[in-house]
Structure 1
Amino acid sequence: MKILHIGPSEVSVLSTRGGAVQRRIVGLARIQADEGHDVTVLSPSAHEEPMAGTHDDWRRVDVPLRTERPLRDYEFLMKSRRALAEQSFDVLHAHGVPDAHRWLGGLAATSVQTVDFYRYRLTNRRLGHRYYTKSLNRYASIMPVSDFCRSGLSAYYPELTTRLDVVPNGVDPTQFVSNTAAADAARVALGLPGDRRLVVYLGRVCHQKGSDLLGPLAERLGTSHPDVTVVAAGPPEQFSARTGARSTLMDDLVAAGVVVTGAVHEDHLSGLLGAADVVVLPTRADEMFGMAALEALSCGTPVVASDLGGIPEAVGSAGVVFPVGDVHAFHSSVAEVMDGLASGDDWAEKARAHALGFTWAEVTRMTHAVYSVALGSS
């Protein structure tokens, strides 16, 4: 099967500063290529000239982009179509790019779209909402990443007639695994103390992700658990932010005693999550799944997260959820898990077992089931 993947225009698919969408594309491409499929991935590039590279037997086509969003999104689609004009595919798999079928659908026998956010630019206006309803209805299947996402998508686009198939995000259990040496290396690389227990947040440092709650958490843990350090690991606002960029929120967190690392290189992600005693996701809004939670669980690390959106589906019984924005409940939940660990509670086995239900191999199997139905109806 010939498969074409395309994601957003912000950052390269293989960027060390990417997010869940980029990780999903790479996770699927690797498994699909291992299974013998011909896989091409379109990736935005900062290079002046387009490059093509092969990674684990899947092919990446870099598309040079020079504009800023929103024009960048259309530049990416236009140049992608031009770069692949002489090629054809069985499946176009778009990831958060509702316009991909309009521009690239003619290159493939069928097209599907993975959705982890569905309020696109101008959808709050009648014409914009109608435009995106028509765009999404062009796909043979839409794949929301959680049951929560499916329900929200259906409610937001009541005239959506395209088939909906829930396919969650996944995790690589060979990359995200408990490893003492990797944990020690991550502590050193990120400047984290080697003699303290860690509560780690991994993701964009912004209000939407609830990062502002890390300051109050650090202050309360400073009294109740003085041997604990709270860590905020991630870029400010957007994954495409330049390395070393700071924000006012980051400065506020430092003032509250939080260690702010900035973006974490791919080489140290697993080590950081494994070094953590608890990983936290205090998201306030728009969380359709929670891949970081799944990656932490794969490392055997328990998760404390907001009871929001698709997060409970990602966490299952291998973590604890608390009411959104409730600082007291956030602290109490983290403290409870930390105390349990100190008393010998074994979260690791439960966490790892839950994560193994979401391997990229399993997600690929579910994805290919959708491809089969889409091809059969095309």
Structure 2
Amino acid sequence: MHVAIDARLAHYTRGGIARYTLELARALAEVGPRHRFTLLRSVRQRSGLPCASNLSASPLLTPPHHRWEQLTLPIELARLRPDLLHSPDFIPPFRRPCPAVITVHDLGFLRFPETLTAESRRYYGQVGRAVQSAERTIAVSRHTAHDLVELAGAAEGRIRVVYNGVSPTYRPIEDRTLLADVRARLGLERPYILFLGTFEPRKNLPTLVRAFRAVRARHDILLALVGRRGWLFEPLFELIDRLGLRDDVRVVEDALEADFPAIYSGATAFAFPSLYEGFGLPPLEAMACGTPTVVADSSSLPEVVGDAALLHPPTDYEALADALIRLLEDEPLRATLRTRGRARAAQFTWTETARQTLAVYREALAV
């Protein structure tokens, strides 16, 4: 079986879909040595892609989300002649020379259309047509599968739930010198509560900032916001200034992905108050690193974390503050969540994701 995987997004972002694509490709090459995989990469990307004897790359000039991709991708597929196309960014070419599998990570653009630019709404608005066109659709959680049926009109029988994995690099870092070096470089000189992700409305960071103000009144601790500015980030920074928290909130936008395990491991607690997630990888990564975690009781997050994290109503900053204070003041609770979190995260591996994805490929080819 020869599978083409659209990996162009990996050149433009290290966000969730790009990370999914690269981790999955690496694992597919390992668990499917008899199969051949071709990554459709941006012509500008010359490094950072996984390597294996059965994994190659083919450059494409058209960037992802571009109107021309509906024309140029079929031409490239006709040249490569794969048996199957996998579109992790879930909008495949609708006229194509081979079957397609798409992965839908979430439907936040339908739940919260106001959080997207007009161009993004145009692009992702094709999801209904995409799920009708694809031979099989992978949903990264049961919650996303439900949303596909409810919001996008997908046929339930063509959806397969395949959870994401956690890279083995996410584990507790116990090297004190390494932890101290990372903290010094990032300005985290005091104990800190961590958020890691994109600064955008859906992540609900104003609720975390308001909760942190209550926590800070009782504890000498920092809030570390690690990630990148997304859509409509400005109100978040204005709120930090308005609440007088500039000296206690560290905004870190230049952290290396290689430092993420140490950043997670060094945190006293990890908070993820997102309003909507199709899966929610950062909480699992934090738990894999042994960091006690609090997440919003919303969308897929309870499904993913199980009983290994504390939950709070999504927009209730007082409840989030109470949960964080409990973690800071209750060592037995922290110990319990460390143990449960590592056990829970260990259930999600990219190897298993790849095995199940190969099974979906076979189904799509048999249609």
Shorter-chain TM band: 0.7 to 0.9
Measured after TM superposition, the shift of residue 82 of structure 1 is 3.8
Query: Which residue of 1 is the match for residue 57 of structure 2?
Result: 60
Question: Structure 1 stretches of 5 or more lacking a match?
Answer: none
Question: Structure 2 stretches of 5 or more lacking a match?
Answer: 114-121
**Native 8 Å contact 1:306 1:322 kept in 2:** yes
**Deviations along 1:337-357, whole A, 9 cap, x unmatched?**
222237763432221111111
Query: Which residue of 2 is the match for residue 274 of structure 1?
Result: 265
Instruction: Specify the SS of the correspondent of 1:28.
Output: helix
Query: Which residue of 2 is the match for residue 250 of structure 1?
Result: 237
Instruction: Specify the SS of the correspondent of 2:40.
Output: strand
Read off the aligned partner of 1:114 and give its amino acid letter: T
2:165 to 161, 164, 170: 170
Measured after TM superposition, the shift of residue 5 of structure 1 is 1.5
**Deviations along 1:17-68, whole A, 9 cap, x unmatched?**
51111111111110111232322222345x3xx86886321333343457xx
Which structure dedicates a bigger proportion of its chain to helix? 2
1:42 to 40, 43, 50: 40
Measured after TM superposition, the shift of residue 263 of structure 1 is 4.5
**Native 8 Å contact 2:131 2:154 kept in 1:** no
What pairs with 1:60-139 in structure 2 (closer than 5 Å)?
60-65=57-62, 72-98=65-91, 100-103=92-95, 105-106=96-97, 108=98, 110-118=99-107, 132-139=127-134
Q: For the structure 1 residues 275 and 61, does the alpha-carbon distance in structure 2 shift closer, same or farther, using more than 3 Å as the test?
A: farther
Query: Which residue of 2 is the match for residue 347 of structure 1?
Result: 337
**Native 8 Å contact 2:269 2:292 kept in 1:** yes
Aligned: 1:307 with 2:291: no
Distance 1:224 1:75 in 2: 55
Query: Which residue of 2 is the match for residue 180 of structure 1?
Result: 174
Query: Which residue of 2 is the match for residue 3 of structure 1?
Result: 3
Instruction: Specify the SS of the correspondent of 2:22.
Output: helix
Distance 1:55 1:364 in 2: 14
**Native 8 Å contact 1:52 1:62 kept in 2:** no
In the alignment of these two chains, the number of paired residues is: 348
Q: Percent identity?
A: 23
Q: For the structure 1 residues 34 and 14, does the alpha-carbon distance in structure 2 shift closer, same or farther, using more than 3 Å as the test?
A: farther
Measured after TM superposition, the shift of residue 80 of structure 1 is 3.7
Distance 1:343 1:167 in 2: 31
**TM-score scaled by length of structure 2:** 0.84
Query: Which residue of 1 is the match for residue 15 of structure 2?
Result: 19
What pairs with 1:142-291 in structure 2 (closer than 5 Å)?
142-158=137-153, 160=155, 163-173=158-168, 175-181=169-175, 182-193=178-189, 196-226=190-220, 228-237=221-230, 247-253=234-240, 255-256=244-245, 257-284=248-275, 286-291=276-281
Read off the aligned partner of 2:364 and give its amino acid letter: A
Instruction: Specify the SS of the correspondent of 2:315.
Output: coil
Instruction: Specify the SS of the correspondent of 1:93.
Output: strand
Read off the aligned partner of 1:55 and give its amino acid letter: P
**TM-score scaled by length of structure 1:** 0.82
Q: For the structure 1 residues 367 and 79, does the alpha-carbon distance in structure 2 shift closer, same or farther, using more than 3 Å as the test?
A: same
Distance 2:28 2:127 in 1: 29
Query: Which residue of 1 is the match for residue 359 of structure 2?
Result: 369
Distance 2:123 2:184 in 1: 48
Measured after TM superposition, the shift of residue 134 of structure 1 is 3.6
Distance 1:278 1:197 in 2: 9
Query: Which residue of 1 is the match for residue 119 of structure 2?
Result: none
**Native 8 Å contact 1:302 1:319 kept in 2:** yes
**Deviations along 1:118-168, whole A, 9 cap, x unmatched?**
3668x99xx999964343112111111111111111111346466111111
**Native 8 Å contact 1:101 1:138 kept in 2:** no
Measured after TM superposition, the shift of residue 217 of structure 1 is 2.3
Read off the aligned partner of 1:217 and give its amino acid letter: A
Aligned-pair RMSD on alpha carbons? 3.0
Distance 1:85 1:323 in 2: 50
